[in-house]
Amino acid sequence: MLVAIPMILIMWTRPEFTKLQGISLTNGFATIITIGFITMVVWKYYQEFWKPRRENANKRRS
């Protein structure tokens, strides 16, 4: 219902989006997916390799 009602209102009013006319939505979506993938890979690298190595170094110092 949270998604359906606004979608029906948008389809009913049929607004003109002049700001989106020159933008390729396919390229925009591909860019968002690529940024998300790179962010996920960096985050997993941090969790799997960097964070445990740093925690082990801190344990050795104590």
HEC secondary structure over the chain: CCCHHHHHHHHHHCCCCHHHCCCCHHHHHHHHHHHHHHHHHHHHHHHHHHHHHHHHHHHHHC
Distances (CA, A) of 8 to 2, 4, 41: 11, 6, 37
pLDDT classification of 62: cutoffs 50, 70, 90: low
pLDDT classification of 11: cutoffs 50, 70, 90: confident
The domain segmentation of the chain, as residue ranges, is: 25-62
Q: What is the pLDDT of residues 15-61, one digit of tens each?
A: 776 776 777 889 989 999 999 999 999 999 999 988 888 777 777 77
